[in-house]
Structure 1
Amino acid sequence: MSAARHDTSFPITPIGTIASDFPDKFGVPRQPGLITETIAQLRLIEPYNDPLAVRGLEGFSHLWLTFIFHLSPLDWKPLVRPPRLGGNARIGVFASRSTHRPNRLGLSLVELINISTHDGVTLTLRGADLVHGTPVVDIKPYLPWAEARPEARTGFAPQAPELIQVAFSSQALNSLALRADGDSLRRLIEGVLAQDPRPAYRGRSNDSRLYGVYLRDINVRFRALDAGQNVVLQVEAIEPRST
């Protein structure tokens, strides 16, 4: 009798693509659900955009998305530097949620807001921590009775990161006031900058550099103050980016 065949590689095909408020990696929430102002859409592609494939999904409020960190490099290292540890302390990649992983697979818990089966299938999601254009490879319903474990140990990340204050210059406020989505965009900016997206490895205590983060179709220019506050200086329109 011949030995059983053991495959050493497994092809993965995206089932859909994310459309989100984050054109770039910089500024994306480091965990799902931290910024509830983020609204994204998952557009399924053929042949997975058959409405039959999502029959019954409307009964669930939250979903697990398995996706590809498509903007991360193909190479990986056994040690990574999590921002929660200051960006310099190293731990094993499998003890982290780093984007630099052997297979570049990510997992996010998102809230399902709506399912549209008009011209294919589109899921509207809240709280996604995904870059615009992210390939999604699977969807599974979230079951709190099986998957929520409040007593679980959480290692070096025992609680959500502390938030910092965000203020707006008069120029930034005037720019937002001219937009139809100005209120929601302001809440999105506040949510992103309160998480302090600046690179941790550079040190944040005396960092007064000017930063820019792309959100929707704007470039938000901001600087941190010594008092632990991010100040939005400018809101500049940018050209739409293709996926």
Structure 2
Amino acid sequence: MSLSSSEIHPVAIARTPFAEKFAIPRQPSLAPAALSRIELVAPYNQPEALQGLEQVSHIWLLFRFHGVAPDNPQSPRLRVRPPRLGGNQQIGVFATRSTHRPNGIGQSVVKLVAIEGTSLIVSGADLLDGTPIIDIKPYVPYADCVTSAENGIASDAPLPIEVDWTEEATRRAADEAQRLGEDVKAVLNQCLAQDPKPAYQKPDPQREYGARFWDLNVVWHYPCADRLTILRIELAASR
């Protein structure tokens, strides 16, 4: 049964720094400096729904992929090209965490930083701003941590690349950190160190890349294969 024909409804909405898909961390916890707010929605936005969660350090977020065109249920995408394999090799969709899934459901484990009324402040989320959350569950260490687990496709975290800053970008990051109340430089360092460009693209020092974080456009380039330089940070045009 497809999710669209079921009785599953969002219990919360994620408010995150990531205003577009490009440059979002490809897995949770890779950018712990990124703080997000998980806001419960009616009829679940009651404090009693969160009672007891103050005893938990991490939670699972189950969500629907937001901003991704749904696959045709009559012709489901059975093979995908995961970025971890360079974006050129195809493997089965159920061997990956690709956004292109039959029901568009994802899951992420995040650190619970605080509970504020009927909202959860979490770190390390890898969700597009506005993502609908369909369930929240406590992380249970003795059951969820499998020390003998193996994954031959993604056995280790990707090696980060170096992130440099121009003086102009450094100054602007400091100014925006004060305005937003966020550690702008740390978030950008952690996200961009994962090299968001497609793996099959060769670095071109003349080419500029950009992504939107919060209400900011961040622009960078690759002077060489193993490092990038953040060139400037600009206020994004209102949408």
Q: Normalising by the residue count of structure 2, what TM-score does the alignment of the two structures yield? A: 0.91
Q: Which residue of 2 aligns with 1:203?
A: 201
Q: Which residue of 1 aligns with 2:11?
A: 15
Q: Once the two structures are superposed, what CA deviation does each residue of 1:42-83 show, in whole Å capped at 9, x if it has no partner?
A: 000110011111111111000000000021111141010011
Pairing 1:60–2:59 present: no
CA distance in 2, matches of 1:176, 1:73: 33
Is the contact made by 1:111 and 1:125 (CA closer than 8 Å) also made in structure 2? yes
Q: How is 1:1-243 mapped onto 2 (pairs within 5 angstroms)?
A: 9-75=5-71, 76-117=76-117, 121-179=118-176, 180=178, 184-200=183-199, 202-205=200-203, 208-240=206-238
Q: Which residue of 2 aligns with 1:3?
A: none
CA distance in 2, matches of 1:185, 1:54: 29
- C-alpha change, 1:30 and 1:49, in structure 2 (3 Å) is same
Is the contact made by 2:162 and 2:226 (CA closer than 8 Å) also made in structure 1? yes
CA distance in 1, matches of 2:24, 2:197: 11
After the TM superposition, which segments of 4 or more aligned residues of structure 1 sit over 6 Å from their partners? none
CA distance in 2, matches of 1:126, 1:42: 11
Is the contact made by 1:60 and 1:142 (CA closer than 8 Å) also made in structure 2? yes
How big is the shift at 1:98?
Answer: 0.2
- Provide the secondary structure at the position in 1 that maps to 2:168: helix
How big is the shift at 1:150?
Answer: 2.0
Is the contact made by 1:198 and 1:204 (CA closer than 8 Å) also made in structure 2? no
Instruction: Give the stretch that moved more between structures: 85-94 or 49-58.
Output: 49-58
- Provide the secondary structure at the position in 2 that maps to 1:172: helix
How big is the shift at 1:213?
Answer: 1.0
CA distance in 2, matches of 1:41, 1:65: 12
Query: What do you get for the CA RMSD once the two structures are aligned?
Result: 2.0
CA distance in 2, matches of 1:71, 1:16: 16
CA distance in 2, matches of 1:54, 1:37: 24
Structure 2: tracts of 5 or more residues without a match: none
- C-alpha change, 1:7 and 1:236, in structure 2 (3 Å) is closer
- Number of matched residues? 232
- C-alpha change, 1:47 and 1:191, in structure 2 (3 Å) is same
How big is the shift at 1:7?
Answer: 11
- Provide the secondary structure at the position in 1 that maps to 2:59: strand
Letter in 1 for 2:95: A
- C-alpha change, 1:40 and 1:183, in structure 2 (3 Å) is closer
Q: Once the two structures are superposed, what CA deviation does each residue of 1:174-228 show, in whole Å capped at 9, x if it has no partner?
A: 222333158810111111110001122x423557521001111211100012251
CA distance in 2, matches of 1:164, 1:61: 29
- Provide the secondary structure at the position in 2 that maps to 1:232: strand
- Provide the secondary structure at the position in 1 that maps to 2:43: coil
- C-alpha change, 1:207 and 1:157, in structure 2 (3 Å) is farther
- Provide the secondary structure at the position in 2 that maps to 1:197: coil
How big is the shift at 1:124?
Answer: 0.4
Q: Normalising by the residue count of structure 1, what TM-score does the alignment of the two structures yield? A: 0.90
CA distance in 1, matches of 2:155, 2:170: 36
Is the contact made by 1:112 and 1:123 (CA closer than 8 Å) also made in structure 2? yes
Letter in 1 for 2:19: P
CA distance in 2, matches of 1:7, 1:92: 19
% of aligned pairs identical? 41
